[in-house]
Structure 1
Amino acid sequence: MCQAAHLPGIKLALEDLLKLNLMAKTGNEVHGVLLYVTSFARVLMSAVWYKILAGIDICNKVIQARDAILDVEVANIETLLTDLTKLRNNWKCMWNEAKLVVSNLKIEIKLSRRCGGVRRKRARPHDDSTPDANLEEMNDTDDTPEEAYFRKCVLYVLVDNVIAGLTVRFNAVKQLAEKFDFLWKYLTMSESDVKRKTLSLSEQYPAHLNGDEFGKEMQLLPSVHKANFVNAPLKPLDLLNLLTEYRLGDLFPNVCVSLRILLTIPATVASAERSFSKLKLIKNYLRSTMSEERLVDLARLSIESNIAITINFHAVCDLKFFTQKRPGKLFLISQY
């Protein structure tokens, strides 16, 4: 557990703060933080959250690093769900890991009833002076009452909620991938399966795709692929770029449209997160009256800065806009 190395230093720093001449309110706050940091529940929950969030973070980084589309996202989320299931079953390792950390720091191994913010519903008020019979009833194994409570009321609840949320996203992405998978698997799929999926996709996008023409294009695409491209299957983006480069867009218009629809479906939400972070930098309190149109344009320039720096602004500035006396007509005149 990587946080265990920092815990002694944090504890020592807080103890040194209490030795200073602090105000009563500040001293109470520091004392409360010290009690929280040096509690077994905090160390245990840190171990649990670290293992869960580390797996999710690695999955997101892999998807973003590969510029992944739906098929890669499905494979990575499926692997993440498998890892979380293994983590749920190997809860004893996290418990022993937390016990080892607190034993080195001489912290009492005591688990609160409200560890991790989970509250159990009780049929009647609980008296802390009486033995905790409920914890013993929960223990159907050789675990201690604290271990049984952590396993059933904390870890299982937490991990099951994470798995449930990921499962919803996994099922949604898997359904989308099954609709579009013929666009990168057409070399290995049968003609009947390809035709069936093209008809299904064209029914979903009737304004953009023609089912009959789309099916004919997909029947012709494998032979064109083998004659002009590499023999290996291509990613959707590579296929679209090659069709454009070889000027085959007029021959496969429906294929190009379907590829563009697929490529506009994001595999991650990182682009949206970057957009919100850019807006915080652009629209501050000094620009509170900025119009929405200008804000969107500045945000686009900031997000696509790699493209913006390649634009020749001198040529753009040489363009003159003027409106003719007749209303409603705007002309663009260049000096060149």
Structure 2
Amino acid sequence: FKFPVQQETSTSRQVVQNRKFNLSWLKDYPWLVYSKELDGGFCIHWFLFAVNLLMKNCQFGVLVQQPFVNSKDAKGEDSVLPKHEKTDYHKNAIVASSNFLCQTRPYLINPLLFWTLKRRLVKERNKQALPSLVKCVLFCGKQNSKTGHRDDATMDPTSNCGNFQALIDFRAEYYSNLQEFRKHAPKNATYTSKIFQNDVIVVLGEYIQENIASNINESSPYFGIIVDEVTDTVSNLQYVRYDENEKPYIEEDSFAFSNLESTNSETITEAILDMIKKSGLGATKIRGQSYDMTASMSSSLNGTQAKICKVVPNAIYSPCNSHKLNLAIQSACKEAHIQQAVTVMNQVFLFFDNSPKQQRFLEKVIENQGSDLKRIKLFSFCKMRWTEWEEAVENFCDIIEVIFIVLQIIKGWQWDGKIKLDAQGLHSSIESLETIVSIVALKNALAPLQGITVKLQKRDINIHSAYKQISSVIAVVASIREDIDNVFKDWYSEISSLAKKLDVTLKIRCVAGRQKHRSNQPANSTEEYYKYAIVIPFVDYVLSELRIQFSREDCNPLEVILSLIPEIVGKVLNIDEVVEKLQCYKSDVPRFSSLKNEIFSWTRTWKQRNQLPTSLCESLEACDKDLFPNLYVLFQIGCVFPVTSCESERPHSASGRVKTYLRNAMSEERMTSLTLMHVHYDMNIDVDQVADKFIRKHPHRLFSS
């Protein structure tokens, strides 16, 4: 038979093309039939049995009431025929037509054909039920809901069978495919066991990793790694993505969790490279790495960053700026008076936090005094996050008067002897004027760092913005030191007000004989004494530690890439030096020989403009890939340099919720997959693709031949 030829005119190129119905479509799609009269295709099952389905207000179109005649949309990923074959109503129509043949005229059907059709129908029914089972596992994983440990065949049906079994029972009431599958499935293949759950969990974890890895492609080939090593090493990937308007933005995703027996640099490096190799990304595309400041990670000789650089020389190490800030503050707080004040505040916190009775008494005193305090409980002093220190100090200053009264009451009432002794010691420590001065100095001297601490932990901050904000904070602390005489006058007013509330006399404690453990500065007044004894040394400590931790090296390739941002590109004096420092990226850029001319043109382009891009992402968006191909690649590389490793620490909370004492013996694959599902709860997961991946990975005759 010769199919009629139709002529179609292309709207874009105005070219006449000859198209016709293809015989191979009838072979590839057995449900497709051809109408000679209408010169088009129909779905025979859907055409005959569409009216038998319980569907209201359904309007039938192509392949049912209208023939399929648009030949160019026949095959392909989003074309008509394969898209129709995947629909639920098409599958239901096949089941309806097969049931009709088997129930009405079974003696007319060949026995071999009958059993073949029946087996195919059973497999189609099982395939339709499998996504429902996968959805149940996915729901439990996203909500971190324990699936239950009574999933064996020996379980008591009258007992509580766990969340997974209960969810399947609930879902089966409304989905006939799942209900039929559970009704006819063999008892040894119900696909509700813990083995099935583990297999689906692993497949879901692999799907999430493949989905993340697919974002790192030809348009954005480079990425940075952020790793936090504790008991379970967390690995994040940072890369550049583009939205629907082709606007670039920086994305950071949790990618893998590894349970390491030891946390030395060799083990961590091997785990990182193995993770990247399994994902199919390739370690050669790593252009940035960020870890905390521990020796095993940051050492330039035997640390993880040094071992990664031996494999990938262009993987520039960028220490976590948030950890730098914490180290600077902790070092500054080692000043004797400040350290003593922090110890006193921490002991007061433990005094009330370890005893619900004493905490209730504190709350009762606050209530009786009619105070309008928003927080009536003290905060702890976290060793790794200054944000919580700042909140703890401010909260302590807000309720220090009430704490002073409570300690005074406790030491005089008939409480336990040890409690009275502790209260008396804490009361005497707070009553010290040196403690009051140290607390006020600690709060005010580190107040400028509060905003930058929060900013450095955000996900969308870029490294240029981080450096700008850090420089401005250091400048603020330096201005406080320069104008310390006037600044301390305001601080001393606060000290006087606080001392008056606590009935503490403003005077210098007399020193008998020679002493070496306390400042003995000559001064004409109490204000002058504490300014030179406590405040100035502490501010000097803070300023020097900030400058040491955040010293920047101009020879670092990252610094050179940052100098190409239009906001500061006019300050580039010697383009030859810039090109020389970027030699390490010679293999990455398309034409390194033309980089000098590109930088010169790029500088001239932004010289006369008012609004200039101020970040790497904005520079990448403003950089034309055709006009500046080398700079476009360099800006992409700059965007993947991590600012902080705080984001890799957040999944530890999720892994702690997943790996409870009831799940302490689960495998690394299960833990990784469950944590990824819990962390990426908002990811759009195609359950049908997961079901197909499960069938390919675990072939079974219930679903395939």
Please classify the TM superposition score into its range, dividing by the shorter chain length: 0.5 to 0.7
Contact 1:38–1:107 (CA<8 Å) still a contact in 2?
yes
State the TM-score, normalizing by the size of structure 2: 0.36
Paired letter, 1:58? G
SS in structure 2 at match of 1:184: coil
Contact 2:654–2:675 (CA<8 Å) still a contact in 1?
yes
In the alignment, does 2:637 pair up with 1:261? yes
What is the alpha-carbon distance in structure 2 between the residues aligned to residue 217 and residue 294 of structure 1? 50
In the alignment, does 2:631 pair up with 1:238? no
In the alignment, does 2:513 pair up with 1:130? yes
Shift of 1:50: 0.9
Shift of 1:84: 1.7
- After the TM superposition, which residues 181-330 of structure 1 pair with which residues of structure 2 at under 5 Å, given as runs? 181-185=562-566, 189=570, 193-194=574-575, 196-201=577-582, 203-209=583-589, 211-218=592-599, 232-234=611-613, 235-241=615-621, 248=625, 254-292=630-668, 295=671, 305=680, 308-321=681-694, 322=696
What is the alpha-carbon distance in structure 2 between the residues aligned to residue 191 and residue 44 of structure 1? 47
Shift of 1:46: 1.4
Aligned to 1:331: none
In the alignment, does 2:44 pair up with 1:44? no
Instruction: Point out the more displaced range, 10-19 or 211-220.
Output: 211-220
SS in structure 2 at match of 1:185: coil
What is the alpha-carbon distance in structure 1 between the residues aligned to residue 569 and residue 668 of structure 2? 48
Contact 2:464–2:616 (CA<8 Å) still a contact in 1?
no
- After the TM superposition, which residues 79-118 of structure 1 pair with which residues of structure 2 at under 5 Å, given as runs? 79-88=472-481, 89=484, 90-109=487-506
Shift of 1:5: 4.0
What is the alpha-carbon distance in structure 2 between the residues aligned to residue 323 and residue 270 of structure 1? 36
Deviations 1:62-113 (A, max 9, x none): 5667944333333322222232233332334423421231123212336679
| From 447, 464, 471, the counterpart of 1:78 | 471
Instruction: Point out the more displaced range, 158-167 or 259-268.
Output: 259-268
Shift of 1:283: 3.9
Paired letter, 2:566? K
Paired letter, 2:684? I
Contact 1:182–1:194 (CA<8 Å) still a contact in 2?
no
In structure 2, the CA distance between the partners of 1:233 and 1:79, relative to structure 1 (3 Å rule), is closer
Paired letter, 2:693? K
In the alignment, does 2:406 pair up with 1:13? yes
Aligned to 1:154: 534
SS in structure 2 at match of 1:9: helix
What is the alpha-carbon distance in structure 2 between the residues aligned to residue 5 and residue 135 of structure 1? 28
Which is higher, the Rg of structure 1 or of structure 2? 2
In the alignment, does 2:543 pair up with 1:163? yes
SS in structure 2 at match of 1:172: coil
What is the alpha-carbon distance in structure 2 between the residues aligned to residue 10 and residue 270 of structure 1? 34
Contact 2:404–2:430 (CA<8 Å) still a contact in 1?
yes
Contact 2:474–2:543 (CA<8 Å) still a contact in 1?
yes
State the TM-score, normalizing by the size of structure 1: 0.67
In structure 2, the CA distance between the partners of 1:221 and 1:134, relative to structure 1 (3 Å rule), is closer
What is the alpha-carbon distance in structure 2 between the residues aligned to residue 181 and residue 5 of structure 1? 43
Contact 2:620–2:632 (CA<8 Å) still a contact in 1?
yes
Aligned to 2:418: 25
Deviations 1:192-245 (A, max 9, x none): 7445423312x244553463254455456579x78xxx98433321343566xx
Contact 2:411–2:423 (CA<8 Å) still a contact in 1?
yes
Deviations 1:158-215 (A, max 9, x none): 22222122112332277756412343228953897445423312x2445534632544
What is the alpha-carbon distance in structure 1 between the residues aligned to residue 532 and residue 452 of structure 2? 27
Q: Which runs of 5+ in 1 are unaligned?
A: 114-127, 326-333
SS in structure 1 at match of 2:578: helix
Instruction: Give the CA RMSD over aligned residues.
Output: 4.3
Shift of 1:316: 3.9
Which structure is higher in strand share? 2
Contact 2:411–2:421 (CA<8 Å) still a contact in 1?
no
Q: How high is the sequence identity, in percent, across the aligned residues?
A: 18
In structure 2, the CA distance between the partners of 1:319 and 1:36, relative to structure 1 (3 Å rule), is farther
Shift of 1:47: 0.8
In structure 2, the CA distance between the partners of 1:182 and 1:105, relative to structure 1 (3 Å rule), is closer
Shift of 1:16: 3.7
Q: Which runs of 5+ in 2 are unaligned?
A: 1-392
Paired letter, 1:47? V
Which structure is higher in helix share? 1
In structure 2, the CA distance between the partners of 1:30 and 1:39, relative to structure 1 (3 Å rule), is same
